[in-house]
Structure 1
């Protein structure tokens, strides 16, 4: 039997009108509750709007996100054993800039690109908020928390090997706006689970005073992230004629050949420390002598 026809007969593939109605219901819940969550915890104002709902095979829908999206695979017991959340990289980049102290009037629209390792680390909390609204909207029995895998850039996802376990799914797309940035959040759910869902708005909670808890979490995530360091040592000036004739085994002296050799250590092209070159046992080392930037300036730069 044709796969599409079989899916329709077994309730695993719905018509476009039904899928669109469910997508609109999800978007209404997100538009009502996600901005309040972000506002309460960060003091920032966002807006959510329904952008459409697309039906298709799950692998195709994920691939259809295109580049510059972060995605997570998730599951929620008693609702869906697998679903995918997507968020435009631009929103995450802009949110992090705000949280690390950038002034709104100085911020430009983020240039679309895959997220850095640090930004992916920080996006964990963004997806946590998105997943918690989802859990409240579907009201799955048992009160279980969503399980989310670590976020990845969509470009880093492995290529699907086949369609044997590729479910018919729906991609619910919403725009999410923060300042000048307009990006997307996407929920991709197998229709088998979506068509059995009754979407209900969670009960509103009493708003709490805005706190810096989320901001502190973001800073802590940055501080725990691994950063690749680079060290630069200046060499003595040579003429282009001399440089063009260098051969294997030739030696170029350091610029500082009479005392401690100055080393400039950087990360993401940002100078961090002034160091001196040395050796410990069999390993070459650098010893920190001075800081170039404050902690706040450094954290803000490493996000870019």
Structure 2
């Protein structure tokens, strides 16, 4: 390892990726503020009895040590992203698992959940996985702020597998939530590498999107506006009448075809071989016109053609 690499490694071990812990904490706090409402809404959709979810703490540390103090009966899941094989570590303590299972199965909210001192059951792991799915989806977001997580999340695991699981080391940020019911509380911890928090969201020191993302949004808006301004040719096709092939072969240039008295007045407005609207054919003064009646429905048109056969 060269001297410059050694110095960078030592500094990274001492102060983290950016040497700006306040910046990491501020970015994580804004990240949580934007997603905690979606987390609470998504989780409570799974439950018969609602719970409250609050931010308890934001802690900086080492990603490789994120599971060092985790109880073997906790529920854990590791979510990959486009830039990291362990972008999100979700750790649900046993008291939280008990609370969520009780709320999910409709237990009496007046009774406190029973603690778990055994390996988690299949049902408990399924409930934990469903909760992790809602949390990861809310954290992932969309657009230029997305973490690009690989959803759905893998199935939660517990027991000896927690101790066997190896995480790549590096500066991390740990976000701790408190889950509260009417008579109990427990914790959910979400840990991610600092580089994932910053690089995926591309934030500057003020916590705003960097110029690259802003420029992309501006160009997208400009392109959309130019597309909306572009011109297309509209065609209104008027059904005339049925003709035999013999009659069709006798048509001549300049010949006038009269519309029968009971001719169909509806017509279809199309552009580039795509039918857009069903219209009504008529005249305004000396000009022929079509009046839009309703959007074209391919499904209904298919049914109408079947019934007419």
Please classify the TM superposition score into its range, dividing by the shorter chain length: 0.5 to 0.7
| Structure 1 position 21 matched with structure 2 position 16 | no
Alpha-carbon distance in 2 for matches of 1:55, 1:74: 19
Deviations 1:103-158 (A, max 9, x none): 112x2243153522331133221111111111117855697643533211265324
Alpha-carbon distance in 2 for matches of 1:15, 1:154: 36
Taking structure 2 as the reference length, the TM-score comes to: 0.53
| Structure 1 position 171 matched with structure 2 position 174 | yes
**Aligned residue in 2 for 1:182:** 185
**Aligned residue in 1 for 2:58:** 53
| Residues 77 and 154 in structure 2, CA contact (< 8 A), matched pair in contact too | yes
| Structure 1 position 193 matched with structure 2 position 196 | yes
Alpha-carbon distance in 2 for matches of 1:8, 1:132: 32
**Aligned residue in 1 for 2:10:** 4
Aligned length: 195
Alpha-carbon distance in 1 for matches of 2:144, 2:160: 32
SS of the residue 1:115 aligns to: coil
The Cα shift of 1:88 comes to: 2.1
| Structure 1 position 98 matched with structure 2 position 103 | yes
In structure 2, the CA distance between the partners of 1:137 and 1:188, relative to structure 1 (3 Å rule), is farther
| Residues 70 and 151 in structure 1, CA contact (< 8 A), matched pair in contact too | yes
In structure 2, the CA distance between the partners of 1:97 and 1:175, relative to structure 1 (3 Å rule), is same
Larger relative contact order (C-alpha < 8 A, sep ≥ 6)?
1
Q: Report the RMSD for the aligned CA atoms in angstroms.
A: 3.2
**Aligned residue in 1 for 2:79:** 74
**Aligned residue in 1 for 2:112:** 108
In structure 2, the CA distance between the partners of 1:183 and 1:13, relative to structure 1 (3 Å rule), is farther
In structure 2, the CA distance between the partners of 1:138 and 1:183, relative to structure 1 (3 Å rule), is farther
Alpha-carbon distance in 1 for matches of 2:74, 2:185: 13
SS of the residue 1:173 aligns to: strand
| Residues 34 and 130 in structure 1, CA contact (< 8 A), matched pair in contact too | yes
| Residues 79 and 149 in structure 2, CA contact (< 8 A), matched pair in contact too | no
Alpha-carbon distance in 2 for matches of 1:195, 1:180: 37
Alpha-carbon distance in 1 for matches of 2:25, 2:35: 15
**Aligned residue in 1 for 2:151:** 146
Taking structure 1 as the reference length, the TM-score comes to: 0.54
Q: Structure 2: which 5+ runs fail to align?
A: 1-5, 209-309
**Aligned residue in 2 for 1:133:** 138
Alpha-carbon distance in 2 for matches of 1:126, 1:21: 26
